[in-house]
Structure 1
């Protein structure tokens, strides 16, 4: 298998309130909710938000951690074992996200330059947290 054949499908985030988390990602980050109505109606175990056509973030309720028998150690992982998730954007989308987060009064870090990532040094990057404390980095290379 080569790196061209491997893609990121989804990341599961532990959240205290999946509906509130979905609204945060929609309003502050600009990501489209997936299965939110189904979750609210009790027909899906969790909602998600779409990062791009191939990748979603699943918003898993922390309350399900003790019942996830298919995932060894799920209950112990419902803290924050992931350091951060990085979103790679175009320069225009980077500026739009930064403005949107500030409009929503979401604290953001200072913008840094030339931090290393999957495609080499990024022109600019910054960090922010979602309401559950999950940390995200946003960056652009172009």
Structure 2
């Protein structure tokens, strides 16, 4: 990649069961597991899921909180409330996600229209929770 525009590389979510969380994101968002076999074998501390070629979501076990020493107070970040993470999708992927969530009996919010985001007003958006209570917004623009 030669474009030097700032981008989000990864988001780290605290989860109680990284393997179950990986399965949830694979089945609902259609993400690809990253390092899942290595995590299950005890070779890496957490698995991830690939959102796109540039962005992953790390699924950090809450049991790792005591090892978070990169900054003062980092240990206390486990369970720290994040309002939500928003994923922008093409319209067909948005509809497919909504269908998979509803088919899996995952509660979703009502559909909103014209909510503001990084690319301006989104045509449609909705919210849902993962198994650990992390809130996600799904949206599409045009």
Question: TM-score normalised to the size of structure 2?
Answer: 0.94
Map Cα deviations across residues 67-113 of structure 1 (whole Å, 9 max, x no partner).
Answer: 11124322211114210000000111100000011111111000010
With over 3 angstroms needed to count, the CA separation of the structure-2 counterparts of 1:71 and 1:17, relative to structure 1, is: farther
| Structure 1 ranges of 4+ moved more than 3 A | none
Unaligned regions of 5+ residues in structure 1, if any? Answer: none
Distance 1:56 1:72 in 2: 25
Does the aligned pair in 2 maintain the 1:80–1:134 contact within 8 Å? no
Does the aligned pair in 2 maintain the 1:89–1:140 contact within 8 Å? yes
Unaligned regions of 5+ residues in structure 2, if any? Answer: none
| 1:70 equivalent in structure 2 | 70
Q: How large is the RMSD of aligned CA atoms in angstroms?
A: 1.3
Question: TM-score normalised to the size of structure 1?
Answer: 0.94
| 2:39 equivalent in structure 1 | 39
**Structure 1 residue 124 corresponds to structure 2 residue 124:** yes
Distance 2:81 2:100 in 1: 27
**Structure 1 residue 137 corresponds to structure 2 residue 137:** yes
